[in-house]
Structure 1
Amino acid sequence: MIMKSIKELKLVDVKIVIFGAGDFGSCAYLYCSRAFPQTYISFCDNNKDRQSERIQGCEIISPKKAVCLYPKAAYVLASADYAEEMYIQLSQMGILDEQIFLFAKEECYHLLTLDEMWEINKKGYEQLTHRTLDKRKLNTYTEKMQYSKIYDADGLRTRLTDKYRVKEWVKEKIGEEYVVPLLGVYKNADEIDFDKLPEKFVLKANHGCGMNYIVKDKEKEDITLLREELQKCLEYHYMDLSFELQYREIQPCIIAEKYIEEFHKESYDYKFFCFDGKVQMIMIVKNIEQEDAARCFYDADFHFVPCELDDGVRMPEVPFKKPASLEKMVEIAEQLSEGMDQVRVDLYAPGENIYFGEMTFTSWGGNVNITPAEIDYQLGSYWRLGDIR
């Protein structure tokens, strides 16, 4: 079943009924009230306990009453889990397909103030961690991340988060030899001339995470499918995932990079948690894109720190060995993080080389449970946030 997005809603003397009076419905109201400020808005909900309440001064009635009172209205489905059931319910009561629109929370994000983003994000963090989040009492790393990702985004963070634009900055800071060679830059997937690319290469979108495609044999690749997947990446707004605002102003593009043979045989990612230009914790991830991925944490002196996250990546029984180039990687990480209150610098060290990976200002979006919790507090103790707004 394919439902129309609320982006397709064009009103001409039509009322709006938001179906769903929970948190999702409140977000839908924000969108509708700002996108259509002159339009009458009502709510309907199947929960009888809510039908005597009001949201933003708007009445909450039963779906049956809504259809009776507003048979020509535009109905906005505000539920992540029950949209299909709502659609069927309205259809059975005579509401036409062209009157029903699906709302997704991210549709309203570009209309929100920073404080409104904070309130929505706060609820999600509290549901995940079962801890109260108070803007004036931020102690842990993940708590401070919730604040920083919304209120501290600026032009420099945006530039350094952009996987294309950061390359030039890194060249200026530490030298071109640490940057994976660039093979091409494309505004859309149709621009990619695969005939000009080598047999092996890597394609990635510059404006998010997890949008990488490793091509080991161009002749065996389904180019049509690859173009489709890359175009989907370009159309995806990564900021909508968890309010990581440094992604908001990045101009999406696709970059092609050289395939580093040594790295892809057995890959290790070295991730340095830096605070005020100093490495305080190190994370090593083995085979990050594979099912057997494993991860270890270490302190700044490379003492193993037992620590796990709730994202499914295991901690190996035997910690990883200290890499031969660790001291040089720490030096590079501290050079790149100089003058920044907090950033994670990701590096690779295939063979005898060191390559820059990325600058990560919002590790996991801050939406993760760290076990033991003391590590979350420890990392938070290193982070000196500025004045809280």
Structure 2
Amino acid sequence: MKKYLYKYIVCVAVLFSGLSFAQQTPAPKQSQAISIVGATAHIGNGQVIENATIVFENGKIVRVGASATTQTAGKVIDAKGKHVYPGFIAPNSTLGLVEVDAVRATKDEDEIGNFNPHIRSLIAYNTESKVVESCRPNGILTAQIVPRGGRVSGTSSIVQLDAWNWEDAAVKVDDGIHLNWPSNFSRGRWWLGEPRGLSPNKDYAKQVIAIQDGFNEVSSYLNGSRSPKHLPNEAMNGLFKGSQKLYVHVDTEKGMLDAIAFAKKNNVKIVIVGGYHAHKIATTLRQNDIPVLLHRTHSVPEMDDEDYDLSYKKAKILTDAGVLVGLENSGQMERMNTRNLPFLAGTVAAQGLDKEKALQLITSNTAKILGIDDRLGTLEVGKDATLFISEGDALDMRGNILTYAFIEGRMLSLETHQTKLWKRYMEKYSRK
């Protein structure tokens, strides 16, 4: 009896584990041309086409224009009264690297050690993640997967969010290396008896020198015999050759200025990630052509004397100053909150930035910063048909209701665990 009971329990456990963790089957390759007709097309570069027609086949956009002058082909989707957008792009994300914060076995976002440029986030990316799946119904179709921890965290890659495995998911492999710049301030560790609040980081200068010493060592290795082979140093080769970018995670004004000087000295291309005080050095950023992936818009001020709405309007300040800005969403519950990315841009628009420029913060601007603007970020001929149709304004949670979504022309399922729960409880309330 116990034997059969045990088998029964095992079978039930396997069944429910499959229901709980399996993602939908990735969409099949586009088999026929598709035409979206009648929608308002938000191109992603500031342009809007009313009553537009967009035609794509073999995963690429082949025609975009006014419906009156643009010929359709293949399957026609009537999108009159709706809106078409390029797929949103989530940079600096740990999507697919952690599934459940409280379950250690599902966490694969960092590695032991302080210098890990050879650690590649791509091979740890979990395409079966239910968190990844939850982003697609809000229009997030592409993400930069970034490792965490240490001084040099590792190497990021860019993926599309509907794939069988990480090889299929890859859009751009090993796009850049991530450096956590030291802060020139530190917070008192009360549990060690240190004073509470901010105080100068007495080790800041030493930490910056250590970074430069590490880069000098890498440069010497790459310009020497490169024997014996040293994997961390080898992983930095693309950075010194110019094929990779250095993503510097830094927030303070002095930290950013020092990082810019460091980049010039080492002749590497950098992107500021976080940039909490970037608005204070906007002119310097513009003059040095350094883009910023700005910290989460939905956050409170860190300093007592700052405007309560500083985080909301910072993107506009930088954009008006001529800085190339994208939005990133790292922080508390960052993976689950990734689906709110469009509403971060919507908040920026509510603070005065033109709505189409706000859209660029999560489409074309981010694509340029990540180096994928030849394929993604706008609805233009020759680019990937990674786009979606929304009932209304996709930067507003009331209008962000997707009816269709496509990645490289493949029609996606928009069903997730969350949408199933929503439908279930909507039915419950409709019975009252």
TM-score category of the 2 structures, normalised to the smaller one: under 0.3
The structure carrying a bigger helix percent of its residues is 1
Q: If the length of structure 1 is used for normalisation, what is the TM-score?
A: 0.25
